[in-house]
Amino acid sequence: MRRPALYSSSVRPAPARQEVDAASHATGFAAVPVAQPGTAPAPGPTRFSRHWSRLRKQVSFHNIYLLWALAGLLALMLGSSVLLSMQPSQRKLTQADIHAAVLKTLETTVLPSAAAKAYETILPSVVRVVGLGKDKDGKEGERSVGTGVVIVDKGIILTNLHVVRGAETIRITFADGLETTAIITGAQPENDLAVLQAQKIPDDMIAATMRSTADLRPGDQVMAVGFPFGIGPSASSGIVSGLKRNFRSPEGQQEMTNLIQFDAAANPGNSGGPLVTMDGEVVGIVTAIYNPNQQRTFVGIGFAVPIENAASAAGMPPF
C-alpha cells in the first residue's frame, strides 16, 4: 500500500538566507545573520516551538494508523454480517419430524420381547427352595426341590406346602447366589401354600409386584418361572387357558378350587414359582400339573393358585 506523504510544519527559509548559506558553504565560514537597516533581527526558533512541531508530527503519524485500523475493523464487521445473511436459516422441528424420527428408531432398533422383559422383571424375586432331610443312614440330602417368590423385601417368601412339608431344614438360594436357611411361618393347606421367612437376605432384596386377577382373561399371555427338575431359573411362556378350575391330586387326597389354568410349560420343580403377566407382575403361584398317565411330566395343563389366596396366606389383605 502506498504510504501517504508526510508534510512538515516548519517555516520555509527566505531566499536571502539561502544565498548567505551558500556563500558561507563556499568560503568555509559560518554565516551570521545580519539585520537589515531599520528592521529588527528575526528571532530564532524557541524551545516551545520545536517541541510543538515534533508533537504535531507524531499526532499526525498515529492518526493515520488509527484511521486505517478503524477502516479494517469496519470492513471485518461488514463482511461478517454479509456471511451471516447468506447462511440458510435453521428450520424448526415439527411434530411430523418427531414422528418420523421415532418411526426410524423403531424400524432400526431390535427391542426385547415382552416375555424377555417380564423375565427380567421377576427374576430378582425368584428363589430356589430345597427341602433337606436325613435318609435311613442318617445322611442329610435333598428330599424335594421347588421354587419360591419373595413378596415382601424383608425376606417373606411364598411357595408350595408340599415342597417343604416334612423337611428338617429348608435351604433358600436367592437370585444373586446368596444361600441361607428359612423357617415356615404360615401355611394354607387347602391351597397347598406355605409362607417362609429367610434367615438372611441380600442387601438389595427386591420383592415381586402382585397383581389382582379380577381383570385376568383367557388368552392373556403369562409366564411361569422356576426350577423344573432343579434346572434354572427357567422361563416358559404361554397363555391363560381358563379360570376357576378345580383340581384333584393324583392320590385323591386333596381337591383345590378356583385355580388359574395355563399352558406355559411346568414340571416338577416349578411348584411354588410365580405365574406372571407380561409386565412381570405375579397373578398366581404354580401349584400343580395335570397328569392323566401318572408320568409327572407336562402335557399342556398347569394350575396356579390366584395371588389373592396366596397373599391371604401371608396375612396380607386382598386386593
200's grid cell = 438372611
- Which of 225, 220, 226 shows the shortest CA–CA distance to 238? 220
Of 125, 144, 192, 234, the catalytic one is 192
64 in helix, strand or coil?
helix
Residue 246 identity: N
Alpha-helix runs per DSSP H in 28-147 = 47-86, 95-108, 114-122
Is the CB of residue 254 less than 8 Å from the CB of residue 162?
no
Catalytic residue check, 192: yes
For residues 5 and 268, give the distance between their C-alpha atoms in angstroms, rounded to a whole number.
109
Of 234, 237, 241, 271, the catalytic one is 271
Distances (CA, A) of 225 to 147, 232, 244, 264: 8, 9, 22, 10
For residues 88 and 293, give the distance between their C-alpha atoms in angstroms, rounded to a whole number.
79
H-helix or E-strand spanning residue 283:
strand 282-289
H-helix or E-strand spanning residue 162:
helix 161-164
For residues 50 and 205, give the distance between their C-alpha atoms in angstroms, rounded to a whole number.
96
How many C-beta atoms surround the C-beta of residue 315 within 10 A? Answer: 10
Residue 164 identity: V
Of 125, 144, 162, 241, the catalytic one is 162
For residues 172 and 178, give the distance between their C-alpha atoms in angstroms, rounded to a whole number.
8
- Which of 76, 51, 60 shows the shortest CA–CA distance to 3? 60
Catalytic residue check, 271: yes
Residue 60 identity: S
For residues 272 and 282, give the distance between their C-alpha atoms in angstroms, rounded to a whole number.
12
Contact partners, residue 315, CB within 8 Å, separation at least 6: 186
Active-site residue list: 162, 192, 271
